Structures are given as C-alpha cells and as structure tokens.
Amino acid sequence: MVLLHGHPRTHTTWYRVAPALAGAGFTVVCPDLRGYGRSAKPVPDEKHETYCDRAMAADIVALMRALGYRRFAVVGHDRGSYVAYRTALDHPDSVSRLDVLDSVPILEALERAGAKFATAWWHWFFLGASPHAERVITADPLAWYRPDEKAMGPDNYRDLVRAVTDPATVRAMLEDYRAGLTVDRAHDEADRAAGRVIACPTLVAWSAKDDMEDLYGDPVGIWRSWVSGELISARIESGHHLAEENPGQLVEALVRFLR
C-alpha cells in the first residue's frame, strides 16, 4: 500500500502508522507528494497543471510500477486524499482499495463552501488565490505553520521544519492549492458529468474531533455518488492529524478494511 500525507506534512507523518502496518504484513510505501518534503519541485505553469492531483496521481502510479507493483491500495489524508481518489479514478486498474481520511471530493467541498466553511477554512482561499501568500509565509514559515515538536515527534518535526523553511517547497504547496481551486475542480466536474466513479472498495475515515461532521454531517453520504464499489466508514477519536494523534485506532481500521 502507498500512504499519502496532507498539507504541510511530509511522509514522516506516518512514522507511527507505517511500522504497525508493516508489522501486520503489508508492504508500505510512504512518498513525499510532488513539491512537498524532499520531492522534486518543478517550475509551476500558468494553468497550475504541474501540481494538480492528476499529475501527482501519475507520479504515484509511476513510483509503484518502478518498485514492481502494478496494483496496490492507496491511503490518503487531507490533500493526499485528493491525490488518492484521483489515482483511483484515473488508474482504476492500478488501485485495489482506496482509503480517504478527513476529506470529501474537492468539488463537493467547494460547492458547499458557504460562510461556515470559508470562515473555518479561509486558508484554502488565501493559499490558492492570494498573490501575497508566498511572501507572507516565507517571511516566517515557522510562525505560519507553528509545528509542535512534542505533538509530532522529533524526527517528524525536523522533517517538516526542513520542508517548510525551503521557499521552493512553499511555492509548490501553494500551487497544490491553486490547482485545487481550478484544474482539480474542473477534473472532478468532468468526471461527474461523464458518470465516472470509483470502482474499488473504499474506506471513508474521519477525525471525530475535527470539523468534518460539523461541515458535512455524514461524510460517507457525500462519497456515495462517487463510489460504485463497497463503501464503509470509520470514525477516529482524534484531531485532524489522526496518524499522529491516534495511530492505533487508525491502523486497526486500515487493517480491518485492507485484509
């Protein structure tokens, strides 16, 4: 299986989850998404296609094939979940099972982005639309991201600090959000219009102490129109960074679903 982190995390966010999954008998691959962490950071393009979920999904398939895996499960959290479900939509022959954590499809989120969402998730629009975002963040990235070494663990913390203090990483992460508001949304709209859905079994899991339920009620209900295969849910007693805050319950849910 491949585990895909969210923003602004790197692959080290899975430091308590990946060993447990490996111990349960799974082969686990934890990459940094394009532009994040220590991954490549190509120059952005005006249409934001370089950092769109479709491009990142192609990265994941190419990576797994290079490692010798033509079919695999994909687990994605936060921004990584968008890459995960795009991988399942664009490469159905490659994805055996899909796990999306703390998300609904990006089109669904944007269509429901009323005052409550815009107030709580204002950073989506600042990162994705403001011409000042890069200057503001790179002026003091640790003040912006406020990483907590005690909560994250020392190695995970150091990897995140290394990433967010690199201006090229900040630029790439902003491009991820710019793509989300534009080309990623367009890809979702095209899939919905064409009736394309996710065919593989899908687990929708979310953090009970985050705002998923407040914003969407039952997140599974939103995913139903996007998934034709088996669809199950898991509610994790955690804040947003569930892989770091409650790895035990998350691992249990993943193992139960993936076996």
Catalytic residues: 78, 240
139 exposure class (CB count in 10 Å sphere: 0-12, 13-18, 19+):
exposed
Radius of gyration (C-alpha) of the chain in whole angstroms: 17
Cβ-contact 251, 111 below 8 angstroms = no
Which sign does the torsion angle of CA 52, 53, 59, 61 carry?
Answer: negative
Q: Could you tell me the CA-to-CA distances from 32 to 161, 190, 211, 237 in Å, in that order?
A: 14, 27, 26, 26
| Token code pair at residue 65 | 């094939």
Q: How many residues does the chain have?
A: 259
